[in-house]
Amino acid sequence: MRIEITAIGFILIIVGIAIMIIGALWGAMKQNESEINGHSKGIILIGPIPIVWGFGNKTKILWLILLVVFSLILIIGLI
C-alpha cells in the first residue's frame, strides 16, 4: 500500500499540533508546582529571516551572519 506524500504531511501537521497542545497543558500543570521563571529564548525562521530573542549579543551577531550567508546562497541559486 502506497502512502502519498500529502497524507504524510497532513499526519505530521496533526502530530505537531497534538504535541503543542500536550506541551501547553503539561506546562500549565507544572506552573502550579513551581515558581514562575521569567526567562525565555527562541528563534523563529520566516523564510531566510531569523527572529532571535533571549540570547546574548554574540548569538544575535551569529544569526545576522547566517542570514547574510543564506540570503546570498538564495540569490545565487536564483541567478
Residue ranges covered by each domain of the chain: 1-38, 40-79
pLDDT on residue 35: 62
Residue 54 C-alpha cell reads as: 533571549
Residues near 59 by beta carbon (within 8 Å), at least 6 away in sequence: 52
Q: What is the pLDDT of residues 12-65, one digit of tens each?
A: 899 989 998 888 888 777 766 556 666 667 777 777 666 777 767 777 787 788
pTM: 0.40
Is the torsion defined by CA of 32, 34, 36, 37 positive or negative?
negative
The pLDDT score that the predictor gives to residue 25 is 84
Between the alpha carbon of residue 33 and those of residues 10, 22, 24, 28, the distances in Å are 35, 17, 15, 9
